């Protein structure tokens, strides 16, 4: 798996680096989110907990996956900034169960 950082923008207001990455995976299926996260964190030299993968897109028959990732200085900043469903996908937060409200009987 080869990683190429296409674009890197520093966002000082949100204390993160916004990365567009191309992952090339010849003769292998699309890599899992955790595999990409490990490889990107290792190549950038940052902690895995500070990296959030927002999206991964690949086309049928293609050996490239386009990744949008956010690199934070620490996990706490990521938890404050990112949406809950993105944090759950990246295993930085636990999914909470929704409690359904009991139906009220119809008024007559």
For 77-91, the pLDDT digits (tens) are 999 999 999 999 998
**Domain 2-89 - what CATH class?**
alpha beta
Residues near 90 by Cβ (< 8 Å), separated by ≥ 6? 33, 37, 52, 53
Q: What is the pLDDT of residue 13?
A: 92
Say yes or no to pLDDT of 5 above 70: yes
- At 108 the pLDDT is 65
Judged against a pLDDT cut of 80, whether residue 74 lies above it is answered with: yes
Specify the 3-state DSSP secondary structure of 98.
coil
Rg (CA), the chain: 18
Model-level pTM?
A: 0.79
Is the confidence at residue 75, as pLDDT, over 80? yes
CA atoms within 13 A on the CB side of 51: 24
Q: What is the pLDDT of residue 98?
A: 73
Q: Are 93 and 79 in contact (CB under 8 A)?
A: yes
Hey, how many other C-beta atoms are within 10 angstroms of the C-beta on 45?
6
- 45 DSSP assignment: T
């Amino acid at each position: 798996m080869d990683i190429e950082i296409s674009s890197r923008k520093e966002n000082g207001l949100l204390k993160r680096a916004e990365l567009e990455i191309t992952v090339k995976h010849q003769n292998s299926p699309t890599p899992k989110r955790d595999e990409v996260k490990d490889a990107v964190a290792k190549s950038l030299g940052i902690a895995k907990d500070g990296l959030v993968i927002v999206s991964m897109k690949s086309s049928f028959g293609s050996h490239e996956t386009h990744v949008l990732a956010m690199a934070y200085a620490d996990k706490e900043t990521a938890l404050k900034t990112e949406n809950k469903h993105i944090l759950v996908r990246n295993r930085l937060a636990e999914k909470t169960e929704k409690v359904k409200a009991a139906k009220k009987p119809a008024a007559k």
